[in-house]
Amino acid sequence: LWDWATYDLWIKAAKQRHVKLLSLFFLSTVAMGRVPSTIFCCKTLVVLRLRNANMSFYSVDLPLLKELYLSKVHFNGMDDLIRLIYGCPILEILTTSFVETSNGVTVGGGYLKPLSNLIKAEIHLCDVPFRTFCNVQYLTIFEVEV
């Protein structure tokens, strides 16, 4: 059995030590890990890698995050994914693979500004609005038909 309270303490300890790179890989896709919302308010994080995770959060403040890697990550809605991406104002690299949302795009007003610092984006099986990537230097989009 996994002790989520201990897990939360580890994340808080990493933040107190000014973590710059954080990789969270949960082993089971059936019982995907719950990512603590405290991760999404971290002033020192530069690289974040998440795999086999369920996302649930209310605010995002990752002012130094430059690289975001999401693989087999589930969001409650597209708004949560958009909130995460736009909570990283200097994001340079974004990679998504098998990212899922419970509902479609419902972002207020329907307008998303381009990510001005984004250099490279690799999007695999994820319906992120393309307006987000209109000025990226290197864009790769994968879609697999089953």
Residue 127 contacts by C-beta under 8 Å, 6 or more apart in sequence? 78, 101, 104, 105
Residue 3 contacts by C-beta under 8 Å, 6 or more apart in sequence? none
Paired residues of 41 in beta bridges: 61
Q: What is the pLDDT of residues 28-79, one digit of tens each?
A: 655 556 677 788 899 999 999 999 888 877 789 999 999 999 998 888 888 8
As its CATH architecture, domain 4-142 has: Alpha-Beta Horseshoe (3.80)
Q: What is the mean pLDDT of the chain?
A: 82
Decide if pLDDT at 106 tops 60. no
